[in-house]
Amino acid sequence: MFRCLASLLFTLVLAVAFAHPTAHAQNSQSAAAKSSDEKSATSKTDEAKSVDTSRGNVENGKKLFVSYGCYECHGRQGQGGGGAPRIGPPAIPVAAATRYVRNPTGQMPPYTAKVVSDQELSDIFAFLKTIPPPPRAASIPLLNQ
Amino acid sequence: MKKQKNSVNRREFLKGAAGTVAAASTVAASLVTNPTPAAATPAMHANASAPTLAKVSPTEAVSIESITVDRPGSDFMVDCLKSLNFEYLCANPGNSFRSLHESLINYGGNKAPEFITCCHEESAVAMGHGYAKIEGKPLMVCVHGTVGLQHASMAIYDAFCDRVPVYVILGNFPDAAMRFGQVDWTHSAQDPAAMIRDFVKWDDQPVSLQHFAESSIRAYKIATTPPMMPVALVAGHELQEDPIADGANLSVPKLTMSSPPAGDSSAVDEAARMLVAAENPVLVTDRVARTPEGLARMIELAELLQAPVVDRNGRMNFPTRHALNHTERAGAAVGSADLVMGLELTDFWSAVHSVRGIRNPVVQSAVKPGTKFISVTSNDLYLKSNYQDFQRYQPVDLAIAADAQATLPSLIESVKQQMNDDRRRAFADRGAKHASAHQQTMQMQREAATAAWDASPISTARLSAELWAQIKNEDWSLVSNCQFVSRWPLRLWDFSKHYHYIGGEGGYGVGYGAPASVGAALANKKHGRLTVSIQNDGDLMFAPGVLWTAAHHRIPLLIIMHNNRAYHQELMQVQIMANEHNRGITRASIGSVLTDPAIDYAKLAQGMAVHSEGPISDPNDLGPAIKRAIEIVKNGEPALVDVLTQPR
C-alpha cells in the first residue's frame, strides 16, 4: 500500500530541487551533473567517439527510447518531467550525455555498455535529434493566460 | 434522559426473542439448560457454531411492546454528536454501529450529520481528509469494528501524516457474553483502536453513556487543536443498543475550542529581530495556512520583509504569481539565504540539504555556511514514536514550538516594531530584485511547457494549460496533488485563494486522491465552487466506488484523468533497479503497468452514472471535452474526462 520507494525518490528529488542554486525545481540535480560532465568530457571525447548520431538509426532509436525505459522519466519526446531533465530538443551534447549515461551521478540510473551498446546509444541520440523544436511560449495563447 | 415506557434492554429482548422462538419451533428441543439471560440468542444468530442457548419456557414469551426500545443509548450518542455540528457522516454500513446508524438517520433526521454512503472505509476517511482541508473542520466517519477499521487504516495514516482532523467512531462488541455467532466475534476486539493508536492523536473506549458524552467532546477538541490529527472513539454495541436507564443523569458537555498554540512572546521577538537583521531571509512554508487567514498573514509577512517564499505546497500558503513566490527557483533562493525560516515544515532537513545519487547518495548542505535557521511548527508539540513521519532531525538556531498561523500576527507586529527606515529601504531594494527573478522564472516555466506541446499521449503541461483555460474564470478549487503531473498547475496557474489548493496525501498512501477529491468537493458544494481533480489512474483503481458516492449524493466534481496507464512512480523505481543490477532493462514494466487490457475509465464512470468522455489522446480534443464536462458539473453532478497522458 505504501510506496516507500516512491516516497524516497520524491524526497530526494525535493531535497535536490530545493538545494541547487541555479536550476529550477524540476531538473536541478541532473542539470548540475550534466554540467559537471560536460567539462570533463571535453578532454575525454575519445570515450564518446563510438557514439555518433550520424550513424544512428532513428527508427530503432525511437523504439529503444521506449523499450529501454528512457521515456519513463524524460517523456516520450524527451521533454522531461518529475525529477528528470529535458533531453531534447534542443539536441543535447552527445559526448557529455554519453559519459553521463554510462556513469551517472544524480538520479539517473546507469546504462552500462552491457545493457546498452554504443550503437544503440547512437540510435537513441539520433532519434532525439529528429524531434522538432517546440514553438515559443509567446506563440501559444494557452500559455499566456 | 428518562427511560421510555415499555423499553427493554438487549438482554431482556434476547431472552424474550429466544423464548418466542422456543415456543414456536423445534429449536426449543435443542436448547440446554442455562438460566443466564446473557447466554440467550435471537434466532437470527442461530447457526451451527452458535454458543450454548438458554432454555426458555414458552410461557416466558413477551409482548411486542417489550421487545422494542424507544430510547436506545445511541440516541444520546446522536445528541452528543449533533452538538459538534458535523455536516456529514461518511461511512460504509456495519452492524457493529447499526444502532448508531439508525439513530442518526431517524432520531437525528439524517441532518447534521447527513449520511454519505461510501463503498469502502478507506474512501470514507479520505473523504473526511479532503473535506477538512477545505472546510477547516472535521466530518465524522463510522467504521465497522476490526474489518472496517483495517480498511480505513491507511487513510487514517495519511490524515495523520498530513496533520488533518478526522473524527472516527468504531463499532465494537466489547462484552464477550453478548457476541452471538462467529461474525460478532470476528468483528470484536479487546482494544479496537490499538491498531491505529500509533497514528491517531487520541482514542477512547467509553464504558457508559456519560463517558461517551465527555469523550466525544474531548475527542473533537483534541483533533482540532494544532497539530491536528485524527481521533477515534469506540462505540460499544451494548452502549448503543441498550435503552437509556430510567433516571439516567446524562448531559452533553459544552464544547469550548482551544485557541491554537501561539509562539512565546520573547521567542517571537527574537525571531523578528533575526528576520529584520538578515540581508536575505527566505520563508519556507508547508502547512501554514489552515484557513484563509493564514494565507493573508503569510502575504503580509513576506511583503513586510520583501522576503521570498518557497512553498512546499502542503497547503495553499502563498499565491503562485506573487512576485515573492520563488518556489520554482527554490534552490537558488535557499542557496543564497542568510536566514531560512521554516513555517510548519514537514521536513526542514530536506529543505536545506541536497542529496545526489541513488546507490551512493552524497548529502550536501544547500545553504551558505553561517546561514541561520528558525523553525515555527506545532510538530514540536506532539510526536508519536513508531511511524517515522517526523523526518530527519534538523538543528536550528531558534525553535518556536507553536502553530505558525497563530504565531504570524504577533510576529508581524514585532517585525513592524523592529524595522527602521534603513531596513525598509534595504527591503525595498531586494524586493525589486526578487520580483525580477520571479518574472524570469515564470517565463522559464512557460517555455518549458512548450516541449511536447502537440504530443500524443498528451503532455501534462498541455493538459494543465487546457484545463486552466476552461476554469480560470470560474470560482475554482484544485483538490488533487500536483506532484504527479510535474507540478504544472502550480507552475502555470494563478493560485491566490485558500481553497485553490489543498496539498497532497501526507503519507503518500496511494488511494487517497479520488476519495479526498470527492470529500473536498463535498465541502466546496455549498460554496458553489467548481472543484477540479487531476486524477491519477492507478490511484482511482484502489477504490473506484467513490465515483458512485459522488453520483449518488450529487457531489459536483470535475475529474480529469491523468491516465499514463501505469503505477508510473513504481515503474521508474523498478527501472532504476534493473539498470543498477545491470540486467533486463526492458522488463521494468512487469508488475507496474496498467495495460492489456487498457482500463476504460469513461466506461467505468458511466457504470456508476457519472458523465464521462474519453479516452482522449489528441490534445486538440481536450479543451472542448473539458468544457462539456464543466457544464455537467455546474449542474451539480460529477463528470470525468479520461485523458491519455505522458508519464509525468
B150 and B277 share one domain: no
Whole-number pLDDT of residue B371: 98
Whole-number pLDDT of residue B57: 54
B432 and B559 share one domain: no
| Backbone dihedral angles phi then psi of residue B501, each to the nearest 5 degrees | -155, 145
Largest CA distance in chain B: 98
pLDDT in tens, A24-70: 333 333 333 333 333 343 344 455 557 777 789 999 999 999 999 99
The answer to whether A137 contacts chain B (CB < 8 Å) is yes
CB contact under 8 A, A76 and B586: no
CB contact under 8 A, A110 and B327: no
Output helix, strand, coil percentages for chain B, rounded to the nearest 5: 45, 15, 40
| Cell of residue B82, nine digits | 449533533
pLDDT in tens, B585-596: 999 999 999 999
User: Which residues in chain A touch residue B328, judged by CB atoms under 8 angstroms apart?
Assistant: 24-25
Whole-number pLDDT of residue A78: 95
The whole-angstrom distance between A70's CA and the closest CA on chain B is: 9
Number of domains, chain B: 4
B486 and B501 share one domain: yes
Please report whether residue B111 resides in a domain: yes
Whole-number pLDDT of residue B62: 61
User: Which residues in chain A touch residue B346, judged by CB atoms under 8 angstroms apart?
Assistant: none
CATH number (domain holding residue B390): 3.40.50.1220
Please report whether residue B81 resides in a domain: yes
Whole-number pLDDT of residue B40: 35
User: Which residues does B111 contact at the CB level (< 8 Å), separation at least 6?
Assistant: none
Q: Characterize B337-366 residue by residue with b for buried, 16 or more Cβ atoms within 10 angstroms of its Cβ, and e for exposed.
A: bbbbbbbbbbbbbbbbbbbbbbeeeeeeeb
Inter-helix orientation angle A94-102/A28-41, to 10°: 110
Domain with B378 in it: 265-445
B441 and B469 share one domain: no
Please report whether residue B143 resides in a domain: yes
Q: Best residue in B125, B576, B580 to probe A by mutation, most A CBs within 10 Å? A: B576
| Cell of residue B129, nine digits | 481528509
B93 and B158 share one domain: yes
| Cell of residue B60, nine digits | 416466558
Residue pair B630/B556 in contact by the 8 Å Cβ criterion: no
Please report whether residue B352 resides in a domain: yes
B435 and B454 share one domain: no
With a cut of 70, which residues of chain B have pLDDT below it?
Answer: 1-65
Please report whether residue B103 resides in a domain: yes
Whole-number pLDDT of residue B14: 43
Whole-number pLDDT of residue A51: 75
User: Which residues does B28 contact at the CB level (< 8 Å), separation at least 6?
Assistant: B21, B22, B55, B56, B58
CA distance B215 to B209: 10
Whole-number pLDDT of residue B60: 56
B422 and B380 share one domain: yes
B409 and B430 share one domain: yes
CATH architecture, domain defined by A24-133: Orthogonal Bundle (1.10)
pTM reported for the whole predicted model:
0.88
Whole-number pLDDT of residue A45: 46
Nearest to B301 by CA among B404, B421, B400, B378: B404
B475 and B573 share one domain: yes
| Cell of residue A91, nine digits | 539536441
B47 and B77 share one domain: no
CB contact under 8 A, A69 and B352: no
Residue pair B406/B294 in contact by the 8 Å Cβ criterion: no
Whole-number pLDDT of residue B91: 98
CATH number (domain holding residue B634): 3.40.50.970
Name the residue ranges covered by the structural domains of chain A.
Answer: 24-133
The answer to whether A84 contacts chain B (CB < 8 Å) is yes
